[in-house]
Amino acid sequence: AQSVTQLGSHVSVSEGALVLLRCNYSSSVPPYLFWYVQYPNQGLQLLLKYTTGATLVKGINGFEAEFKKSETSFHLTKPSAHMSDAAEYFCAVSDSFNKFYFGSGTKLNVKP
Amino acid sequence: DGGITQSPKYLFRKEGQNVTLSCEQNLNHDAMYWYRQDPGQGLRLIYYSQIVNDFQKGDIAEGYSVSREKKESFPLTVTSAQKNPTAFYLCASTSTFGGLDNQPQHFGDGTRLSIL
């Protein structure tokens, strides 16, 4: 069975600082990994995905994530936080049956 | 533009009442999903459907029912058996076209259900 753990339900950074949101997964097969962002009272929007190939994945809004198989991690980073990045972020893994498993989410607060 | 439409955006349920949440997609996706979102708990899978006229229970199916009579539509009924229905409900879909890597899910904007 697949599972996803996001360390830190709340992360606070200053504007312009590095953003690091942690995600570890458990998967018995090569995983398909995703990061989503959710703004209040909205659905989830895809930031980036890893399926196969290059382990460093670039997404929208300057975010990127690195797949590290040895660490079973897929942490999300952004070099410089912007006020508009304040939202909740979800890491997800899908299995070969197109069933998705989501982490519990990390709320990012960006301080001016 | 293609997307997923959920309606209504806000819904109120009286005690003992069944209510139905609508989810329609024009992305030509085969698979559709319903999630429940509660604060601090992430997304929990209620039901999912890979093809028309077939669906499977997710992790928290009790008190809910679905149908999949058309590819575009996957309505969710919250029955009176669901004793704590207050939550944010999200519908999603994904392409399962053969041979492709797993595709990401696309989400609607959600329906917030409250008890009167």
Q: What is the CA angle B97-B99-B101, rounded to 5? A: 85
Pairwise CB contact (< 8 Å): A98 & B96: yes
Kind of pairing, strands A106-111 and A10-14? parallel
Q: Is the pLDDT of residue B53 over 80?
A: yes
Residues of B in contact with A97 (CB under 8 A): 50
pLDDT score at B97: 66
Q: Cα distance from A76 to chain B (closest Cα, Å)? A: 17
Mean pLDDT value across residues A98-102? 88
Kind of pairing, strands A10-14 and B4-7? unpaired
**At residue A97, what are phi and psi to the nearest 5 degrees?**
-100, 15
Q: Is the pLDDT of residue B114 over 90?
A: yes
Q: Cα distance from A7 to chain B (closest Cα, Å)? A: 13
Nearest CA in chain A to B40: A104
**Which of B42, B94, B104 lies nearest to residue A105, judging by beta carbons?**
B42
Mean pLDDT value across residues A1-21? 94
pLDDT score at B96: 77
Q: Is the pLDDT of residue A41 over 60?
A: yes
In A, what residues contact B, Cβ < 8 A? 9, 32, 34, 36, 41-46, 49, 51-52, 90, 92, 94, 96-100, 102-105
Q: Is the pLDDT of residue B83 over 90?
A: no
Mean pLDDT value across residues B52-65? 95
